[in-house]
Structure 1
Amino acid sequence: MTERLATGKLDATHIDHFAERLAEFHRTAPAVEPGSRFGAPECIVAQAAGTLDGIEQHGADGAALCAWIAEQSKALTPWWVERQSAGQVRECHGDLHLANALVLGDDVTAFDGIEFDPALRWIDVLSDSAFFAMDLIAHGRRDFAYRFLNAYLEHSGDYAGLPVLRFYMVYRALVRAHVALIRERQAGPMPAGPDYLALAHQLASESDARLLITHGLPGSGKTFVTQRLLEQVGAIRLRSDVERKRLFGLTALESSAERPRDEIYGPQATADAYARLRSLARTALSAGYPTIVDAANLREAERTQFRELAAELNVSFTILDCEASHGVLRERVSARLARRDDASEADLAVLERLHAVRELLTPTERAQAVMVDTQDGRVWLWEGADVGTRAWAEAAERG
């Protein structure tokens, strides 16, 4: 993929296909037994510390990252234990940088997985995914990195791993930095490439927890706009349509037509879906990520619960209000149902029912809202918008 990326021939479809394929590969891969040394906290820390030690032996200053690894090892040990117990340490690829991924027609696959050392292959599935995302960032495509991560997480549902994701991305950057130093020592000066050590420092220092929720009827463009936003700011997005189906054992594009509609779309199911979104948002925000909740949020009470979560975690809160004319909403909903390429199952009857019961933003909410007309792309703010809301608005305009 490295050459395709350099020549501009790697597109979003390739990223989406690979994310889905990798999630399925990880789902079916064998898992280690609880208590195995593979994926145990001491093994993970030893691998990271050993890699950094190798870098320092080449003359690089690793003191700050050494302290960071020690600090993270204490904080993340319970999460690593839980990851192994939950079956998330599996037989993975192990060396999933861009040069080991290949586009074949419309398909994307990985090759040259690690075979010589099982400790480098039997790893947390998110360590595998983090390698690929990190390398996209290293090659200047942060947008593709977060497109990939979000697509992978939507397919796998592995949001519980977000607390350890940043550590794995730093570790993978250190691995590539070490490899580059070894090659330079063996073969002399190499062509300029990514500065992986600088990236490791950057990733270790990143933390930008803030919460954005959407507000809008079916067809208003919430998912379209938030896709651009997550790529712009490097955010984690949680989709109500996807998570609602996951609660009932359905994949994103799987139809619920054979189930009683009230079972999946009744009041209790809706309450459960929003509770899950709040729980996942708490995890993502606590891990330091900008977090987007892509849901209708048509009732003030639903929006208030997210605002209270943001206040509890001491992060900024913003509402993305997506609007379009009623005629356009009807056209979009009908077209989406005909395509069958989205998790949403809202039809025209649902649109009309929700239009009748939606609760408009209050004056207080407007001060924290970014307004987007998804017909003409216009973005605007109400008077008194705070700094956090303005930052999201700027990202929406860039997108």
Structure 2
Amino acid sequence: MLRDKKILLIISGGIAAYKSLDLIRRLSERGAVVTPVMTKSAEEFVTPLSVSALSGSKLYRDLFDLTEEAEMGHIQLSRSADIVLVAPATADLMAKMAHGIANDLASTLLLATDTPVTIAPAMNVRMWQHPATQRNIETLKGDGVSFVGPNDGDMACGEFGPGRMAEPLEIVAALEAQLGDGPLTGKHILVTSGPTHEPIDPVRYIANRSSGAQGTALAQALTALGAEVTFVTGPADVAPPENVKVVPVQTAQQMLEAVQTALPADAAIFAAAVADWHVQGASDRKLKKSKDGLPTLSFAENPDILATVAQMKTGRPQLVVGFAAETNDVQANATAKRKRKACDWIVANDVSPETGIMGGAENAVHVIDDAGIEDWPRMSKADVATKLAARIAQALAS
């Protein structure tokens, strides 16, 4: 879908600029024509020679280079592409874009362009969360700028949170969706994500360590392929994805009701880590310590959302995918779960504490279906999502 598409890639200065080299390679593999532009600060992180060699195109760096202006003026350069991509987009460059500042080649191109602009932000978590940056984000969205990411994760500065640049394959998928009809165009896909919180009293609850990162990444990847996504999420640590219908819930019962309301769908992907039990007769007041001893809690099973949808007699989605988070006998337990629930696929992973997968930035999964078991190597959750979304698209097309 990117063959012969002309992409003006602006690389601004940040540690995430190293990802731009892989991004250029991924775009070139798909037949895109990449014209790179680098800011002065970007050259502190990647070399112009590397960028030029990988893109196979002339590199543009200086607004006041007379030779470059004679060969292709910056106005023509800004309007000759099918899309302008900024990756990484620093807080500084985003601020310039939001306020119409044009004091170097990159910001001038962005102000002069009349083609679609997509940015992949990358910055420290505090910079991303700063009110000034958040105001700039809203301004840019109002101006029609599309965003890819940022993702949550560990940062070079040692902090954790939103601000990591989206992975190259995520960005590629987003461009494919923008520049052509993706393979999931016209498909409605339901995705559940995050944990559920089952109340004990108004201030306490039962939950698990799920961050919601894998479900969010999957919703983003499906959207990038053109799907209309309904995203039913428990109280996750990561922010919900852009450009989807978000339905927030707290409990398993609420999640079931939201799922049933969202149907029909072409596919239903159950990535949420739903609590197996809830407290019967949860107190409407905070439980207090008592001389009578510890309170007695009675538990009851939560509804089985995956089995309910997978075993529907009418209106069942064409594809129903469950997730299995296991700590032992992963493949055997997941295979049994797939049979018991009657879903089409199970995506299984080992969430033992030593793996760092639950709540982490990476995943290693086994995809189980009628044909057997596919073992995928450990990779980022964004890459797992991209690969799984492509597999889903292929299944819905058959």
Question: Could you tell me the TM-score, scaled by structure 1's length?
Answer: 0.33
Choose between structure 1 and 2: higher strand proportion.
2
Q: Select the structure of larger CA radius of gyration.
A: 2
Relative contact order, higher structure (CA 8 A, sep 6+): 1
Question: Could you tell me the TM-score, scaled by structure 2's length?
Answer: 0.33
